Amino acid sequence: MRVEVNRSPRRHKTVQARLVDGTLRVAIPASMTKDEEAHWVEVMSARFTRHADTSEIDLDAKAATLAARFELPEPTEISWSSRQNTRWGSCSVDTGRIRISDRLAGFPDWVIDYVVVHELAHLLEAGHNEQFWELVNRYPLAERARGYLLAQADVGN
């Protein structure tokens, strides 16, 4: 993807990026150093690449299939989230909405499936009690997926 950087004297702290006709346009404060510019171009490029990767995965179909296979309820809504930097997913039990971190884009399907099953289990058990883990562990690759996610968290993904 082509990147175009615009240094703005009116911009003081924030960085903004848009994808226009295949070009990532990054607006940064004019006062930023070249190192800061390089950092933000990398961050924004990664964010837009993740977004492109997530569009290839049908979370609705994935959730429906996994809910049926492991006898879990279907969510009222499931979507990707770019605002989850400290968790892989979240579930609002009261509304039935599930959010999956777009940081999972590019991870193996069996890992994404595990995170979806984990969040689906929260629709029955809000906390991480014994009953919750029994539901999650119906997924045959649960332990392996947890290990994969722990390793990814250690390397800063």
Amino acid at 133: W
Count other C-beta atoms under 10 Å from residue 91's C-beta.
20
Q: What is the pLDDT of residues 102-123, one digit of tens each?
A: 888 878 899 999 999 999 999 9
81 & 150 share domain: yes
Question: pTM of the full predicted structure?
Answer: 0.69
Q: Which residue, 71, 90, 70, is CA-closest to 80?
A: 90
Q: Which of 36, 54, 72 is the last residue of a domain?
A: 54
8 & 66 share domain: no
Q: Which residue, 153, 66, 38, 60, is CA-closest to 104?
A: 153
74 & 87 share domain: yes
100 & 130 share domain: yes
Question: Domain range spanning residue 66?
Answer: 59-154
Count other C-beta atoms under 10 Å from residue 89's C-beta.
21
Whose tokens are 């990767």? That residue is 53
48 & 68 share domain: no
Contact 42, 24 (CB under 8 A): no
83 & 145 share domain: yes
Whether 3 shows a pLDDT value over 70: the answer reads yes
65 & 138 share domain: yes
29 & 63 share domain: no
105 & 141 share domain: yes
Q: What is the pLDDT of residues 30-53, one digit of tens each?
A: 999 999 999 888 888 877 666 555
The confidence score (pLDDT) of residue 138 equals 97
Lowest mean pLDDT among 49-53, 74-78, 98-102: 49-53
Q: Which residue, 108, 103, 100, 113, is CA-closest to 139?
A: 113
What's the number of domains the chain is made of?
2
Tokens of 134: 């029994």
User: 112-128: buried (b, 16+ CB within 10 Å) or exposed (e) per residue?
Assistant: bbbbbbbbbbbbebeee
Bridge partners of residue 23, in order along the sequence: 2, 20
Q: How confident is the model at residue 82 (pLDDT cuts 50, 70, 90)?
A: confident
- What span, in angstroms and rounded, lies between the C-alpha atoms of 72 and 117? 8
CATH value at residue 92: 3.30.2010.10
68 & 44 share domain: no
6 & 19 share domain: yes
79 & 19 share domain: no
